Chains A and B, each alone.
Chain A
Amino acid sequence: QVTLRESGPALVKPTQTLTLTCTFSGFSLSTSGMCVSWIRQPPGKALEWLARIDWDDDKYYSTSLKTRLTISKDTSKNQVVLTMTNMDPVDTATYYCARKALAAADSYDYWGQGTLVTVSS
């Protein structure tokens, strides 16, 4: 059974750095072809893809946010960590982690329930 769960602070101040952790089970990020991504959704708005880390430690970032994002993994702990620097109120959103489906056009077949992060002083 595949599960993913996001964790991190619910509230951060402007200019602070956000650190989110995705803890997963039911699969291994050391399996060839496996990937985990972060996606966010501001309240009432569309989904926005942020970053991806692959089984071989390749990393990919949103063009518009790449200077602020860092993604990493701890395979032994089954965790993926996303850091976002210089947080701003416009970064208020629900942050999701999701697993890339194998042999399915890089779609996301399993998602966490999401964690709402509010940026406010």
Chain B
Amino acid sequence: DIQMTQSPSSLSASVGDRVTITCRASQSISSYLNWYQQKPGKAPKLLIYAASSLQSGVPSRFSGSGSGTDFTLTISSLQPEDFATYYCQQSYSTSGFGQGTKLEIK
């Protein structure tokens, strides 16, 4: 099975900050990497698919990059509604998720 490792596990930041979350796969997954945002009590929301494609309706401050084994999710200027938990998902071999990164207000 492909293992997905996110870092950091948690992160404190302020409104307006630029934030980067990293996801590493245990083997190459090409660009089969997706990012989700989850708020408490809610289902995950798709942000980025295929490593760098912005899902329709998602603000342009979210961006993704990477291929192979190393990927990043960047939020260019944090907004109050961005404080949530973020998950990466590989869809190269069936599927699997990272352990999540909780983004908290500093």
Write out the residue numbers on chain B whose beta carbons fall within 8 Å of the beta carbon of A31: none
Measured between beta carbons, the chain B residues less than 8 angstroms from A48 are 97
Which residues in B have some Cβ–Cβ distance to A below 8 Å? 1, 31-34, 36, 38, 42-46, 49-51, 53, 55, 87, 89, 91, 94-100
For the complex, give the distance between the alpha carbons of A48 and B97 in Å: 6
Q: Is A106 an interface residue (CB 8 A)?
A: yes
Q: Would A105 and B49 count as touching, CB distance under 8 A?
A: yes
Number of A-B residue pairs, CB cutoff 8 Å, is 71
Q: Report how far A63 CA is from B1 CA in the complex, Å.
A: 7
Question: Are B98 and A46 in touch, CB under 8 angstroms?
Answer: yes
B95, A106: Cβ atoms under 8 Å? yes
Please give the residue numbers on chain A whose beta carbons come within 8 Å of chain B beta carbons, in ascending order.
37, 39, 46-49, 52, 60-64, 96, 98, 101, 104-109, 111-114
Contact residue among B1, B45, B50, B98 (Cβ-Cβ distance under 8 Å from A104): B50
Q: How far is the CB of A34 from chain B (nearest CB, A)?
A: 15
